[in-house]
Amino acid sequence: MIQFPHCKINLGLSILSKRKDGFHDIDTVFYPVHLKDIVEITASGKGYSESIHFTHSGLTIPGDTSNNLCVKAYHLLKVDFPTLSAIQMHLHKNIPMGAGLGGGSSDGTAVLQILNSLFHLQLNKTQLIQYAEKLGSDCAFFLFDQPCQAQGKGEILNPIAIDLSPYTIVLIHPQIHIPTPWAFQQITPCKKEKEIAKIVQQPLSTWKQELVNDFEAPVMKAHPLIGSLKEELYAQGALYASMTGSGSSLFGIFPKGFTWASTPLTQHLRLDTF
């Protein structure tokens, strides 16, 4: 069984306070973007020695396989469904990692959905959301598949009516890894006057002045290239441009029908258009 998990961008991101559990309360809007990975799972059959045989292709996936959210998703379900069959899983990676796009979270959530269907676990959406929240703070969003205001750690989700389909979204991947713990350490949390969900309901022309990602200032100070790329998005005609998540990917929202002009700054970087 195959799924094509997509990524997300953050429309604004406010760090409101640090919690007693060490996490942070945030306010943001998750917006789905259809840059996709591919996850395929098949049952291994009787007598297979490993509970899960995981392979991957596409972009290089660093680190220990046991830490991959796809593998963790299988073992999470295995606790409550001990008779879950051994599987073979292949992940083809298109979504850059450590880029603020939520690709790993999307992949792990897709595994939950595939296993639920493949092995007839009969988990409803509420139950899948509960499992997704155990995987990661933003995993549950990928069960909604629509724009959502995200609060708390990112797990408190409320669908929001916003449609960017009249525009073109361009993603730029600077190939810079931003460690999320480091990014949070650079932030002094504070309450904001206006929720992001209200700002994104305003005309797009107001976003440049009001819609802010709190991670941008420290990340761009540490990596000036990212700031230069945001300026380039505006120079190319973006109506709004921002970093997504804790970076390092950026996105620009353009009028339909625009033509991107390659520049020395961007010619060696990956750009995706939607």
Active site residues: 8, 138
Q: Report helix, strand or coil for 1.
A: coil
| Residue tagged 């009001």 (tokens) | 210
Distance of CA 269 to CAs 110, 131, 183, 203, 264, Å? 28, 36, 23, 31, 10
| Residue tagged 């449609």 (tokens) | 163
| Residue tagged 């999470």 (tokens) | 76
| Residue tagged 């258009």 (tokens) | 273
Closest CA to 223 of 270, 176, 159: 176
118-155: burial string, b at 16+ Cβ within 10 Å, e else: ebeeebeeeebbebbbebbbbbbbbbbeebbbbbbbbb
> Tokens for 142?
């990928």
Please check whether residue 12 is in contact with residue 29, taking contact to mean a CB–CB distance below 8 angstroms: yes
List, in order, residues 6 or more apart from 175 with CB less than 8 Å away.
Answer: 96, 248, 269, 270
Q: Report helix, strand or coil for 265.
A: coil
Bridge partner list, 135? none
